[in-house]
Amino acid sequence: MSKKKKSGCKKGEIELFGLLLLVIGVVTICAFILPSKIWLIILSGLMIFFGYKLFNC
């Protein structure tokens, strides 16, 4: 019977890495399409959203 090697990542970390790669891909594609003012609005909204989620943990 062979033992499975366990990776150093937890399940939540793997999902976080997947989300991070998805966000980087979308940002890279949209950087060539969207003007800078829309980027400021999107980033501000994301910062507010994640700040709210972290504050209410």
pLDDT digits (tens, 9 = 90+) for 1-18: 555 555 565 666 777 777
Q: What is the pLDDT of residue 21?
A: 82
pLDDT at 57 over 70: no
Q: How far apart are CA 54 and CA 57, in angstroms?
A: 5
For residue 30, give the amino acid letter. Answer: C
Q: How far apart are CA 39 and CA 48, in angstroms?
A: 14
DSSP 10: -
- Cα 6 from chain centroid? 24
pLDDT, tens digit (0-9, with 9 covering 90-100), for 30-51: 778 878 888 888 888 888 888 8
Q: What is the pLDDT of residue 12?
A: 66
